């Protein structure tokens, strides 16, 4: 599902967080929102998600105004850094959750839920720990489960906010490959917030560099890296995160 952001503005008090943002994301693309802390990445992601209301402007999903639609109706999946798994539920129950809480009319039968959950657990190669609880898993395994859980409802759009931020470098690298693989296999459109340029370069089809609520550059990783469009991008890419 394509996502279009049109003339988006958002302030918190005096702080301009989205400064007339425009962005086109074609269906199937994996886009990284890259920028320093406070540049407005999370707010843009939350507006796309429908979790935050803009002061003005619109977000179009597949050409339709999505501003007033319920998040679930938009078929959006989320993975957040601190979006912890439910501690009292098994891994299986965690992944099944989004399907089980659906209104009866759209809830699949239990056998179908089971098949779907096991398929996803196999996809992230963690079907062998379906009966365990989150505290029995490593951080990397937990985020693989978080990815599976987000994908269980078959979203068209996957939104990720620093999903691997709390993990060490080796595990982060591994999870990037998982994200890329799941994105491709599930045919979603993904928007991924990170302040880590290496992560953005490695995983994304396109990088949107943000600064003070504005888009400094928007292009494929090679282009952004080889031809920084502004002094800010040049400096930001030069900094070792």
3-state secondary structure 1-59: CCEEEEEEEEEECCEEEEEEEEEEECCCCEEEEECCCCCCHHHHHHHHHCCCCCCEEEE
Taking the complex as a whole, how short is the minimal distance between the CB of residue 142 and ligand ADP, in angstroms?
Answer: 22
Q: Hey, what are 228's tokens?
A: 């920084």
DSSP string, 187-225: T-EEEEEES-HHHHHHH-SEEEEEETTEEEEEE-HHHHH
- On the 0-12 / 13-18 / 19+ scale of CB atoms within 10 A, 6 is middle
The answer to whether the Cα torsion of 185, 152, 47, 106 is positive or negative is positive
Residue 216 contacts ligand ADP per CB under 6 A = no
Q: Does 35 bind ligand ADP (CB under 6 A)?
A: yes
Please say whether the beta carbons of 183 and 175 come within 8 A.
no
**Minimal CA–CA distance to 186: which of 155, 146, 160?**
155
**Binding to ligand ADP by residue 241, rule CB under 6 A?**
no
42 binds ligand ADP (CB under 6 A): yes
**Closest CB 189 distance from ligand ADP, rounded Å:** 20
Nearer of residues 16 and 229 to ligand ADP, judged by Cβ = 16
Q: Is 23 in the site for ligand ADP (CB under 6 A)?
A: no
Binding map of ligand ADP across residues 43-82, x = CB under 6 A, - = no contact: x---------------------------------------
Q: Can residue 12 be called a binding residue for ligand ADP (CB under 6 A)?
A: yes
The single residue among 3, 5, 25, 40 that binds ligand ADP, judged by CB under 6 A, is 40
Rounded Cα distance between 33 and 111, Å, is: 38
Nearer to ligand ADP, 92 or 236 (CB): 236
Instruction: Choose the stretch contacting ligand ADP; rule: CB under 6 A; options: 38-46, 89-97, 119-127, 216-224.
Output: 38-46
Note whether 11 binds ligand ADP by CB under 6 A. no
Which residues of the chain form contacts with ligand ADP (CB under 6 A)? Answer: 12, 15, 17, 35, 37-43
């Amino acid at each position: 599902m394509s996502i279009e952001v049109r003339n988006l503005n958002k302030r918190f008090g005096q702080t301009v967080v989205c400064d007339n943002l425009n962005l086109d994301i074609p269906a199937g693309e994996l886009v990284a929102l890259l920028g320093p802390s406070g540049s407005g990445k999370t707010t843009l992601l939350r507006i796309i998600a429908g979790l935050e209301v803009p002061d003005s402007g619109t977000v179009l999903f597949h050409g339709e105004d999505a501003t007033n639609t319920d998040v679930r109706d938009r078929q959006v999946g989320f993975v957040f850094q601190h979006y912890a798994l439910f501690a009292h539920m098994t891994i299986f129950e965690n992944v099944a959750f989004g399907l089980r809480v659906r209104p009866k009319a759209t809830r699949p039968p239990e056998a179908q839920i089971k098949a779907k959950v096991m398929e996803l657990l196999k996809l992230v190669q963690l079907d062998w720990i379906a009966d365990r609880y989150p505290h029995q898993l490593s951080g990397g395994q937990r985020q693989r489960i978080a990815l599976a859980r987000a994908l269980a409802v078959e979203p068209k759009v996957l939104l990720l906010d620093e999903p691997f931020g709390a993990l060490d470098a080796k595990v982060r690298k591994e999870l990037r490959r998982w994200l890329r693989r799941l994105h491709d296999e599930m045919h979603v459109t993904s928007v991924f917030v990170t302040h880590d340029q290496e992560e953005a370069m490695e995983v994304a089809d396109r990088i949107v560099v943000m600064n003070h609520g504005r888009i400094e550059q928007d292009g494929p990783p090679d282009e952004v890296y080889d031809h920084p469009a502004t002094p800010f991008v040049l400096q930001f890419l030069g900094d070792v995160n």
